[in-house]
Amino acid sequence: MINKSLKELAALLAAKQISSVELTREFLARIARLNPTINAFVTLDEERTLAQARAADERIAKGEAAPLTGIPIAQKDIFAAHGWRTTCGSRMLENFIAPYDAHIVQEFDRAGAVNLGRTNMDEFAMGSSNETSHYGKVRNPWDVERVPGGSSGGSAAAVAARMCPAATGTDTGGSIRQPASLCGLSGLKPTYGVCSRYGLVAFASSLDQAGPMAKSAEDLALMMNVMAGFDPRDSTSLPREKEDYARDLGKSLAGLRIGLPREYFAEGLDSGVAQVVQNAIAEYRKLGAQIVEISLPNNKLSIPVYYVLAPAEASSNLARFDGVRYGYRAPEYADLNDMYCKTRAQGFGAEVKRRIMIGTYVLSAGYYDAYYLKAQKIRRLIAQDFVEAFKHCDVIMGPTAPGTAFKFGEKTADPVQMYLEDLYTIAVNLAGLPGMSIPAGFAGNLPVGLQIIGNYFDEAKMLNIGHALQQQTDWHLRLPEGV
């Protein structure tokens, strides 16, 4: 049961071979058994979850089921969900109960999906290893001494350990794709603006994007059919008609032009990861695809650009957490200014404070032109590189991460080494493009992800390309030992 696709689970529910309550109880039992070790979930509400499952069963009985009705879905703890604790992995929001639903949560509720629980994450989505959460680190099910990636590491670990069939995540610089790679699952960061950010606690508003995480590309397509769509409450939401993201699944790849950026296969890439990626590309050749060498000359600048722009936006967005209106407030203080200082000092973790300080610095008078404005100009050059590349290819492929899952503490002492984990993913966010990671094999018994980057609004095409590989291989069905 735990390895069945969303489509297969929906068929079982429709045929009354299993009820949503029975299915939900099975996953809750797995969470009870595995979560004390993996720490993927931070909040569970069995009573509320089972009430949703019972409502789904009634809907199925009436013949009113949608494709995901009755299927348990885990939600990253960055999406506001009415009546649920929404912490963003931070002490600052430790006791915050959301008074409304994020658009994404609302859409899953409308589809009849069951909210299984809230997944752990790097604090305010700032991190690449899920070591910055106030609620403890998440462990990778493939090796519990290694990181699952971040910031959506809780969602990734939950799917990898089959504690849920699928989960939501957010991607600001690779936070869906990198943990998907490290945990051996599929994850999609859609085109910026395709999924509403309403109710998504903001980190960097021009980069944040919600997306699905699941076992397969087919599952991602079904998730996107629920998640994507225009939301007038979000000024960055794109007014586009709903589309069927599963419509291209099964189409031939004959004549597909795959671009391989020479910059993605240079110094810094683990040799084992490189071999797995090349093996996956060889499979695409067998399916009729053509390989084209391309260049993304400004990719090397994506990390310094990102770590100017993202902290700048974080500095602005996190100014609202001041202890006045909601969230944590320091218990003892002398005056208003002292309350601000102590609340933020005690409520935020080290990585969040580091980024707030960097962001405030680059936005300050005298440095705005030298750093922030210059970074915005280079961001345009990075996006233009992709425009030029897509004149010669249909999709771009390469590694999702430069290596496999690393051990806890291995990179926390050197923030720059941690930031380099996002070397291949950040440019996609800066350009607002869709990017996906799918399992491509193993290096040293640890999962490796293949990144597929598409042109704007090419999600359906990308999902078919990922699906095609998953029809030829079983990497996405492999399970970690002990789960």
DSSP string for 92-105: GGTT-B-SS--HHH
| 206 in active site | no
Name the nearest CA neighbour of 227 among 211, 251, 240: 211
Residue 36 belongs to what H/E stretch?
helix 20-38
Please state, in angstroms and rounded to a whole number, the distance separating the CA atoms of residues 116 and 31.
10
CA distances in angstroms from 383 to 222, 377, 387, 475, listed in the order given: 29, 10, 7, 32
| 151 in active site | yes
Residue 32 belongs to what H/E stretch?
helix 20-38
Please tell me which residue in 20, 133, 155, 175 is annotated as part of the active site.
Answer: 175
Please state, in angstroms and rounded to a whole number, the distance separating the CA atoms of residues 450 and 442.
11
Please tell me which residue in 20, 76, 155, 302 is annotated as part of the active site.
Answer: 76
| 316 in active site | no
Residues contacting 318, CB < 8 A, separation 6+: 124, 348, 352, 356
Checking DSSP bridges between strand 395-399 and strand 257-261, what pairing results, if any?
parallel
CA torsion 22-24-25-28 (nearest 10°) is: 160
Q: Is 42 helix (H, G, I), strand (E, B) or coil?
A: strand
DSSP bridge pairs for 407: 146
Cβ proximity of 212 and 187 under 8 Å = yes
As annotated, the active-site residues are: 76, 151, 175
